[in-house]
Amino acid sequence: MLKILKYSFFDLIRSRWSIIYFLFYFVSGMVLLYLSNDVSKAIVSLMNITFILTPLIGTIFGVMNFYNSREFVELLLAQPIPRKRIFLGMYLGIGLSLSLSLFLGMALPFVFYGIFGSSAIGSLATLLLTGIFLTFIFTGISFYIALVNENRLKGFGMAILVWLFLSFVYDGLFLLLLLLLQEYPIENLAIGMSLLNPIDLSRILIMLRLDVSALMGYTGAVFHRFFGNGTGMLISLLALSVWTIVPVWFILKKSHKKDF
């Protein structure tokens, strides 16, 4: 697995897409920082970009990489190693290379600007952590979709739909549900629904750092109590981990039975 991971990682990190991805974050971060001159504001703006782009790029790379290395996978499958090592290695290779681009692209501008000692370092760390989680989660989901669908167009379309659903449609339905059920105590429902979407979950973890004042008001305090204390944090991280592990489990299960 480590061997496959190593080469898959080296292959991807040298691709110009990785570099473009890195540069995108790097330039955005630089521009936002030096235009706003405010670390917190730059983090808020970057957050908006990250929660859309990271899942999208994870999705696209997961699908594309799988379909593009179809023939090479066959060569690997004919080698004396178990299947799961190949797929795990490839998946981790994509996840890691994307995460590295994301991490360096996002962190370096703040390092140059001077983040250490600033109170915003916690927000940045949370953003980086959730960004990496989202990268792995969406790479995993799309990798699985590609594994199931021989038809590239279908696989690609499906993966994009999943992305669109989780980053956009879900919140619309969420809001609709809250509006419909407003007569009832719905705090727990709201907490439950946000645990079921990794993007919402990541957003809330950041919100707890950036919008504490607002969260202390009204019913927000309930959410702050849940997500803000140790147990809530733990549950959130656990939920993100489950979101990461489940697609991998499906990948391994499917890869065991699949014909190539």
Query: Where do contacts with other proteins occur on this chain (CB under 8 A)?
Result: 3-4, 7-8, 10-12, 14-15, 38, 40-41, 44, 47-48, 51-52, 68-72, 74-83, 167-169, 171-172, 174-175, 178-179, 182, 186-187, 190-191, 194, 200, 203-204, 206-207, 210-221, 223, 257-260
**Nearest distance from C-beta of residue 170 to other proteins, angstroms:** 8
**Nearest distance from C-beta of residue 185 to other proteins, angstroms:** 9
> Which backbone phi and psi does 65 adopt, to 5 degrees?
-65, -40
**Nearest distance from C-beta of residue 114 to other proteins, angstroms:** 19
> Does residue 150 sit in helix, strand or coil?
coil
Q: Which amino acid is at 22?
A: F
**Nearest distance from C-beta of residue 195 to other proteins, angstroms:** 11
Q: Which is nearer to other proteins, 30 or 193 (CB)?
A: 193
Q: Which residue, chain included where needed, has tokens 């944090």? A: 233
Q: Which is nearer to other proteins, 159 or 204 (CB)?
A: 204
Q: Which is nearer to other proteins, 38 or 253 (CB)?
A: 38
How far, in Å, CA of 115 to CA of 227, rounded?
25
Which tokens is 39 given? Answer: 């670390």
Q: Which is nearer to other proteins, 142 or 167 (CB)?
A: 167
How far, in Å, CA of 109 to CA of 124, rounded?
11
Q: How far does Cα 247 stand from its chain's mean position?
A: 13
Helix axes 39-68, 152-164, angle to 10 degrees: 160
